[in-house]
Amino acid sequence: MNKELPKNFETAENEEHWYKIWRASGFFNPDNLDLPEDAPTYTIILPPPNITDKLHMGHASELAIQDLFIRYKRLRGYRTLWLPGTDHAAIATQTVVEKKIKKEQGLSRHDLGRVEFLKKVWEFLGETQSAILNQTEKMGASLDWSRLAFTLDDPRRLAVREMFIKMHSEGLIYRGERIVNWCPRCQSTLADDEVEHETQAAKLYTFKYDAAFPIAISTTRPETKLGDTAVAVNPKDDRYKQYIGQTIAANFCGVPLKLQIIADRNVEMEFGTGALGVTPAHSMIDWQMAEEHNLPIVKVINEDAKIHPGFGPYSDLGVLEAREAIVAELRKNNLLTGEEDISNNLSVCYRCGTAIEPLPSMQWFIAVDKPIERLGNKSLKQIALAAAVDGEIEFNQARFAKKYTDWMTNLRDWCISRQIWFGHEIPAWHKGEEIYVGAEAPAGEGWVQDSDTLDTWFSSGMWTFSTLGWPGTFAGGRKSGDLARFHPTQTMAPGYELITLWVSRMVMMSYYALGEKPFEKVYLHGMVLDKQGKKMSKSKGNGIDPLDMITLYGTDAVRLSLTAGTTAGNDLKFYQEKAEDSRNFVNKLWNIGRFIISQMEDETLPINTAELTLADRWILSKFKHTKSLVTASLESYEYGQAIDILKEFTWDQLADWYLEASKFSRSASTPAVLKLILEELLVMWHPFAPFVTETLWSYLGKPQLLIVSHWPDQNPTEYTDTEAETQFEQIIEAIVAIRNARSVNKIEPAKKLPALIITDSVELYTQNSALLISLRTGLSEMQIISSGQAPAEAIFAQTPNADIYLSVPVDREQEKTRLNKELTDTQSFIERLSKQLANDEFVHNAPPALVAKERARLAETETKAQSLQEQLKKLD
């Protein structure tokens, strides 16, 4: 066969070519896989990327990991479904589009109005979504595109409505006024975990409300004190005990206050004056105190972070202006007794960085502690907690399970309404004070749909089953269609930062809707960082575009650089050199394939075990071992290790030794061995480097595509051949020893007669090794002459026609130094070993096999030391 393959693997054209063929084959869709009815399923629902931006390296790593799981399972005969989708990411998307129209047209969303604004959002979506899908394809992801979903498309709208109505009818969704994290810029509430904390310099003011007030308080926010309805002190605090229970009127900067003095254990006596002004409407903790003590609630700050009307000169001022004005007033009246610089944690919006205002507001909530009759009177929290504690759902790292349970234990009712325009509409209608919850507006005039939208995690929480046809596939409590076949899914593989935000919600939602877990295993992966270990981000400009890397090094290389040498759940530093290394490896694999293919004959004879060479036997034995290790690693999700093992076999054993040996030492079966190993090796590399493997596979004359080929089973011609391993490895050692000790000098290349190897080390080895060495060096005959003692002239005289001499090192001193060092090391090792073996406790306590091994080793090492000493003597 004459196959002209290019020296380097051509990435771009092969990637495009094969991805097209794969898609056309239909094999990404489990319905098209040729499998027995009862084939096990393996399902991953892709964590849907936000459509706010193109994919970054983190997404690329996520795709590489999931695709390798999927491809591996497909090769193992599973009915594999990897379901793609994108996430509307309500707040994030709205913010991006708002910024965009502000920049391009100078307009705010209010200028455009809700309808026009949403039109703009959908336009924007169209663009980014197609960019994302294109990138995903470029990564070689074998996703079933026929099932593509979006968190805000019609099927998902239906699912979300259904869920909301169901939860509401069971009393899990309720409306209530709560202090929420309000972002005055986004005009929306934020979930607790959407709030970030920034350290900032602040001033702690200490003052009295008025001259007559007996207690001084400390605060960083004097403007909120307009709404104080109590002063809290520690019940143990002797300074204030006498006042507890009293209600004292005060005139605070012209605003009349009625302040109840209450005792609360949470007040720290050491902080400030040990007394806390309670502002129920604008502090989470104060709100809780107000509930406990039945305090009145006075709202001071409005949704625009301005003071409400009715507070005299401070009305309509922004919070900062009001603060200055009040501080000035206190100072004027000599009420301000302290002003201290402290560093304070400021809550800011995770999207826009604006300072959060805690405000009371009417919101929709999901009750997480309410027992659900239908589910054995357990609450969502209890069910979700039990799933992790009982091991129903497995986490790839114990620390992630802990994080999940910790968070779940402390979970409070989940606020699911958001005051933004882009998102799932709430299926609730208002008419005056009346509220109706249902899919359509009730009959009659004047019903207006709730203007809020739902927290994006509400719809994301349903992702594992809303993508599989729920609620349509779940009639009368029974699953049908895709839902029956693919739910619960097997693996969910998001980044670990999504444990609380997303994983937790999926667990609650799935148990609630279906009474079953959403997935069996949570495989959380780390973040992709830059070389300095910093998060990649647009603003820092340290981000790397996966497409750029793919253009430079190819998809296979990018995938390998994101998966090789990584450990489950740990962060990964990515930089260009890594992709370069992987590219080099892909090219090595390409050339191994190219070499074997170039030697393939039209008809390869089957392997005849009786005629195998030593090298054949060695590589087959090694290969068997490699296969079982790789399979075991993948079964335990340790793909980084699987890659390391495969790489070592491919490069260090197959390429460096077996292929070299096969050039000069072959049997009639050697071509078959080469072919067998290449075939199976390509299958094993396929999950990690799909393109180069499929390309090479196409030259093997196989009827089917590699992606639906079969993971190599134990092959009858393979066996563990320890004898071959030992012998061949001795030869390797001998060759290395010679390389080590001698330099090769070329003399008169025209003459072709017996050559000469002068070596001490080779003496130790069998005739086999001499043969192999002679073949390897291209010499037809070889003599082994003991020791390097013979003067060069004598050797030349003995073999005047040799074309190559392997000569002893010229520098005797250097050689002596080397030998001396080795001898010292060996002797100190002997000392250690004998000391240990002289220790009775070791001999008694250590495993007998280990003791025996150590004894043998000691003997071996002593022999080695002797030989080293002899060699040194000769050099003197």
Supply angle C-alpha 735, 739, 745, rounded to 5: 120
Distance in Å, CB of 854 to RNA, minimum: 8
Distance in Å, CB of 516 to RNA, minimum: 28
Q: Which is nearer to RNA, 547 or 868 (CB)?
A: 868
Distance in Å, CB of 745 to RNA, minimum: 10
Q: Which residues contact 325 (CB under 8 A, 6 or more apart)?
A: 313, 314, 317
Distance in Å, CB of 219 to RNA, minimum: 4
Distance in Å, CB of 349 to RNA, minimum: 14
Q: Which is nearer to RNA, 430 or 816 (CB)?
A: 816
Measured CA to CA in angstroms, residue 253 lies from 51, 311, 541, 697 at distances of: 50, 10, 49, 83
Task: Provide the token pair at 822.
Answer: 């080795």
262 alpha carbon, distance to own chain's centre:
49
Q: In 10 A of CB 621, how many CB atoms?
A: 19
Q: Which is nearer to RNA, 467 or 759 (CB)?
A: 759
Q: Which is nearer to RNA, 410 or 767 (CB)?
A: 410
Distance in Å, CB of 399 to RNA, minimum: 4
Q: Which is nearer to RNA, 431 or 864 (CB)?
A: 864
Distance in Å, CB of 221 to RNA, minimum: 5
Q: Which is nearer to RNA, 101 or 498 (CB)?
A: 498
Task: Decide if 55 contacts 546 (C-beta within 8 A).
Answer: yes
Q: Phi, psi (5° rounding) for residue 427?
A: -80, 60
Q: Which is nearer to RNA, 153 or 648 (CB)?
A: 648
Q: Which is nearer to RNA, 47 or 495 (CB)?
A: 495
DSSP string over 274-339: SEEEE-GGG-HHHHHHHHHHT------B-TTSBBPTTSGGGTT-BHHHHHHHHHHHHHHTT-EEEE
Distance in Å, CB of 177 to RNA, minimum: 18
Can you say whether the dihedral through the CA atoms of 429, 431, 436, 441 is positive or negative? negative
Q: Which is nearer to RNA, 644 or 760 (CB)?
A: 644
DSSP string over 170-191: TT-EEEEEEEEEEETTTTEEE-
The residues with which 492 forms a beta bridge, in sequence order, are 522
Residue 471, preceding peptide bond in cis (omega within 30° of 0):
yes
| Rounded Cα gap, residues 402 and 408, in angstroms | 10
Q: In 10 A of CB 121, how many CB atoms?
A: 24
Distance in Å, CB of 683 to RNA, minimum: 19
- Render the burial of 366-384: b for 16+ CB within 10 Å, e for the rest: bbbebebeeeeebbbbbbb
| Rounded Cα gap, residues 467 and 472, in angstroms | 11
Q: Phi, psi (5° rounding) for residue 577?
A: -60, -30
Q: Which is nearer to RNA, 160 or 524 (CB)?
A: 524
DSSP string over 778-805: T-S-EEEEESS-S-HHHHHHH-TTBSEE
| Rounded Cα gap, residues 866 and 811, in angstroms | 22
Give the H or E element holding residue 69: helix 57-75
Distance in Å, CB of 498 to RNA, minimum: 11
Distance in Å, CB of 176 to RNA, minimum: 18
Q: Which residues contact 336 (CB under 8 A, 6 or more apart)?
A: 205, 206, 207, 327, 330
Give the H or E element holding residue 233: strand 230-233
Q: Which is nearer to RNA, 266 or 787 (CB)?
A: 266
Distance in Å, CB of 264 to RNA, minimum: 9
Q: Which is nearer to RNA, 699 or 829 (CB)?
A: 829
Can you say whether the dihedral through the CA atoms of 633, 622, 558, 64 is positive or negative? negative
Q: Which is nearer to RNA, 405 or 669 (CB)?
A: 405
| Rounded Cα gap, residues 87 and 151, in angstroms | 5
Distance in Å, CB of 169 to RNA, minimum: 30
DSSP string over 550-574: HHHH-HHHHHHHHHTT--TT--EE-
